[in-house]
Structure formats: structure tokens, C-alpha cells
Homo-oligomer: A and B are copies of this chain.
């Protein structure tokens, strides 16, 4: 058999979806560290109640998530106190904020309405590879 069964690239999507599942697993973490960073910058501290309000979830959900982030080394927290980013969390937050900004600016630059861009960027940012991000960024420098 001319053997297209070996590895037909068109049929070799499994890895794409595996990486997609990985990306999903990182999304909440990325959104949280980014938001915690924003809150610290804007309000001086990150409280559960503010996170719950901004994400539109309950305080209990925030609590669960923060425990997960703490377990994974992104934040530190003490009972009934505000939340802090670790260096690891800080680094991730910085990266995410920059990436978000590039995606948002790119969308606006090609003609997407700023409000729509804000929404779409929130979803898209987690699925943009370094390579694609570089292309977006390059397009910003030299518009058109």
C-alpha cells in the first residue's frame, strides 16, 4: 500500500488537540494572575471580593481557584488576607498583559470595533502562539 496510513498530516490532528487542551488548562490561571496584577496596580491590593466581581463568579469559586494557584506556585495568600503574586505569578502576569495588549491592538488596527476587540482578545489571547504573536506585533509597527 502506498501507505498513507503511516502519518498523513491531514489526519494527524491529535497533537493539535492535545496542545489545545493544555492551553485550556492554562487559561484560568492566566486570567487570574493578570487580574490580580491589575488589581494590585489599580487598588493597591487584590481581594477575593474584587476578583469575584470582575470575573462574575461567586466568592467560593474564587477561593477554590486561588487555592489551585497557590498550590501551583503563582500566588501566596493567608486566610482573610489579600492575595499576592509570587515571582512566577508576576512573570506570567506580565507576559499575559503584554500579549493581551498586542492581540487587542492588532484587532483594532485591522478595523475591529474596540469593544468587540476587547471581548475577542480575551478569548483569542490564550490561543496565539509566539510565532503568530510576533506577526501581529510586526503588523502593528508597520500598519496597512
**Which residues from B are CB-within-8-Å of A14?**
53-56
Tally of this chain's copies: 2
Beta-carbon contact of A135 and B111 below 8 Å: yes
A43 to chain B, nearest CB (A): 10
8 Å CB contacts to B: which residues of A1-43? 9, 11, 13-20, 23-24, 31, 35
A141 on interface, CB distance cutoff 8 Å: no
Contacts of A116 in B (CB 8 A): 129, 131-132
Question: A127: which of B118, B124, B131, B139 is its contact (CB, 8 Å)?
Answer: B124
Among A11, A13, A110, max chain B CB count under 10 A is at A13
- Chain A at the B interface: mostly helix, strand, loop or mixed? helix
Q: Decide if A96 is an interface residue (CB 8 Å cutoff).
A: no
The interface bits of chain A over 104-125 (1 if a CB of B lies within 8 angstroms of the residue's CB, else 0) are 0001001111001111101110
| CA of A18 to CA of B55, assembled, Å | 7
**A81 interface residue per 8 A CB criterion:** no
Are the CB atoms of B55 and A13 closer together than 8 Å? yes
Q: Residue A126 at the B interface, CB < 8 A?
A: yes
Q: Does A78 contact B (CB under 8 A)?
A: no
Which residues on B sit within 8 Å (CB–CB) of A135? Answer: 107, 110-112
Q: Which of A's residues lie within 8 Å of B, judged by CB?
A: 9, 11, 13-20, 23-24, 31, 35, 53-57, 107, 110-113, 116-120, 122-124, 126-129, 131-132, 135-136, 138-139, 144
